[in-house]
Amino acid sequence: MEPNLGTIVRSISIGPNREETGLESLQFREEIHRLMTVPPENGSSFTELLQLPETQAMELLHSAHSDEVVPVPLSGEPLHGINDDHKSYLPSFNGNLTFPSNKVLIERAAKFSVFASGEHSPETSSVPSDSSANLEKVKSEPAETDSNPNSSQLLVSDPAVNIKNQRSEKRKEREKKGKGCTKKSKIEISQDAEKLPYVHVRARRGQATDSHSLAERARREKINARMKLLQELVPGCSKTFAMQISGTALVLDEIINHVQSLQRQVELLSMRLATVNPRVDFNLDSLFAPESGSLADSNFHSMVSPLLWPEIPFNGNRQQHQQQWNFDALHRPLWGREEDNHTFITMENSLLNYESANSASLHSNQLKMEL
Amino acid sequence: MRSPSSLKQEFLKRWMRGLQRCTSSKKDMNVLERKKVIKLSADLAIASARNGTTSWSRALIANASRDNDNRILAERILGPESDILIKRVSTSVGTVSCNRKIRSKKILKRSCNSVRRVRKGTHLPQKVLAKSIAKRLVQKRTQILKRLVPGGEFMDELSLIEETLDYIAYLRAQVDVMRCIASATELINHD
């Protein structure tokens, strides 16, 4: 982190570049005024930066740095007119997009190159490892950059929206950085603050940079991290490629469908179990009565007993039957039978062992023993 | 997260215990009652397994204890520890209602902000509009999800997602276990 910061500061402090950044900061301001709805922020954004605790100020500067290190695939179009229509950037961006996470960073870096074409050539060493290191340290950033695509990538014009978002973000940070270059001491102080552990949050354009919105930003990133987890959990959703395209709304769709289907299945299965059971009770008593005399006081008539008995001695022939009979035997005690809990539980354990495919004879023996 | 097999084991154990407790008194029930009992004991089984650590389990228990006729059943199913559990649930319900007010205020504020933004974004209608449309879609879906997950209506998004994760794991375990048992019993009974 430090070397990046140092190089950036150095590059900024170069004479002609300083004027450039001054010009750009002016342009930034105009742009911000024109595009966003929070005017008081723009002129005084750096003063807000000053009011922020050092850590947060460093975050904002920090986030600017990590982008600068990202490789710039674009041969910077010499468009310093930030007031230009942003659509003109789109074709070039679309041509150079790479998936998945570098896309956003590359867009940002592309913006950077556009705004100050000469400035970043020393920094635009293609160091993806470095950027990834940045990403690790500033771990909220990629989540946030992904949050941009996630939240807004539903329509075809989404790349435009993303680019717009990040461009605006970048501009704002650059403006702050531009103003910060005149105060080197501030940056040095921020350098020290950089080492402290804290949550990196990027201040979004158009939102106040007070702690409230920053907390909300951190929250957003947490949400997106968990959305990714959910995506992995829900089947059919976990392609990394799809994560770029699907966006938050589609992932939520999948999740909702999954939860609904699971709930419906539970309903159906409980209905099935409810209808099945009347015969189960009888079978239970008939099953257990011969095995242990203590179960003779059954509440139900022993019907259908001859049905089940033939199955019990089968060991090799119909293994599956027997195993499922073990299931059944476990289930049956519920319907009107008072049994000791501990035998129950051991039976349940054996049942679940079955589920992990153990031998059938073992279970039948266990069952008989436990009874 | 806990391993799925241990989750299933725990669920099965509690479910069987609950069913046993519940059916020991009533000898004959019609199908609907039985289904209700099965489902209820299954829900309570997993909810008690969570022991009130997750919000949806608390909400499940709270829902179960709300109706009077369910309440007795639920208490019986839960067994001796039901009092503690229900007490814990009721205390958490109070905070839930407080959250509700906060949530509704935030929703109002957010909707106002979004309307304001859309109006002022007429300079570049496409991009801002796209963003707001996307946001609205996401909000709609989160509302649906909130309705699905028990007790999810009053949670913020972050906890909602965590709850959903947990809830999905539980639903899966429940479906697997119930399916095994249902197929087993049906297979036996058809022969």
- Mean pLDDT, rounded, for A112-133: 45
pLDDT tier, A296 (very low <50, low <70, confident <90, very high otherwise) = very low
With a pLDDT cut of 70, the percent of chain B lying above it is 43
What does the pLDDT read at residue A285?
35
Distance from CA of A37 to the nearest CA of B (A): 7
Query: What's the CA angle centered on B175, arms A350 and A250, to 5 degrees?
Result: 145
Contact A336 B186 (CB under 8 A): no
For residue B82, the Cα-to-chain-centroid distance in whole angstroms is 18
Contact A270 B178 (CB under 8 A): yes
Among A35-39, A100-104, A131-135, A276-280, the least confident range: A131-135
pLDDT tens-digit map of B153-184: 777 777 778 878 888 888 888 888 888 888 88
Contact B168 A262 (CB under 8 A): yes
pLDDT tier, A299 (very low <50, low <70, confident <90, very high otherwise) = very low
Tell me the two tokens of residue B71: 């309440």
What does the pLDDT read at residue B135?
82
Contact A274 B182 (CB under 8 A): no
pLDDT tens-digit map of A301-345: 333 333 333 333 333 334 444 444 444 444 444 443 333 444 444
CA dist B26 and B69 (Å) reads: 14
Contacts of A343 (CB under 8 A, 6+ apart): A370, A371
Among A202-206, A212-216, A248-252, A300-304, the least confident range: A300-304
Among A40-49, B34-43, B46-55, the least confident range: A40-49
Residue B144 CB burial class (10 angstroms; 0-12, 13-18, ≥19) = middle
In residues, how long is chain B?
191
Residues A236 and A254: beta-carbon distance below 8 Å: yes
Highest-scoring range by mean pLDDT, A37-41, A112-116, A120-124: A112-116
CA dist A358 and B65 (Å) reads: 39
- The mean of the pLDDT values for chain A is 51
SS3 A263: helix
Within a 10 A sphere around the Cβ of A126, how many other Cβ atoms?
12
Highest-scoring range by mean pLDDT, A307-316, A354-363, B126-135: B126-135
Q: Which helix (H) or strand (E) holds A12?
A: helix A2-13
Q: Which residues of A touch B158 (CB under 8 A)?
A: 219, 222-223, 226
**Which residues of chain A from 185 to 214 reach within 8 Å of chain B, CB to CB?**
none
Q: How far is CA B182 from CA A94, A275, B14, B22, in A?
A: 54, 10, 17, 19
Residue A107 CB burial class (10 angstroms; 0-12, 13-18, ≥19) = buried
Tell me the two tokens of residue A77: 């179009």
Q: Which residues of B touch A227 (CB under 8 A)?
A: 161
**Which residues of chain A from 283 to 302 reach within 8 Å of chain B, CB to CB?**
283, 299
Better pLDDT: A216 or A23: A216
Tell me the two tokens of residue A360: 């059938």
**Which residues of chain A from 12 to 41 reach within 8 Å of chain B, CB to CB?**
34-35, 37
With a pLDDT cut of 90, the percent of chain B lying above it is 0
Residues B136 and B144: beta-carbon distance below 8 Å: no
- Residue A98 sits at φ, ψ, to 5 deg, of -125, 150
What does the pLDDT read at residue B13?
74
What does the pLDDT read at residue A315?
37
ipTM (interface pTM): 0.76
pLDDT tens-digit map of B60-96: 666 666 665 666 666 665 655 565 666 665 665 555 5
What does the pLDDT read at residue B100?
60
**Which residues of chain A from 222 to 251 reach within 8 Å of chain B, CB to CB?**
222-223, 226-227, 229-230, 233-234, 247-249
Closest Cβ opposite residue A266 in set B9, B133, B171: B171
- What single string gives the DSSP state of each residue in B51-116? TT-SHHHHHHHHHHHHSHHHHHHHHHHHGGGHHHHHHHHHHHHHHHHHHHHHHHHHHHHHHHHHHH
Is the pLDDT at B99 greater than 70? The verdict is: no
Contact A348 B34 (CB under 8 A): no
With a pLDDT cut of 70, the percent of chain A lying above it is 15
Residues B55 and B151: beta-carbon distance below 8 Å: yes
- Mean pLDDT, rounded, for A362-367: 40
The model's pTM: 0.44
- Residue A154 sits at φ, ψ, to 5 deg, of -110, -30
What does the pLDDT read at residue A33?
54
- The mean of the pLDDT values for chain B is 70
Closest Cβ opposite residue B127 in set A160, A252, A259: A160
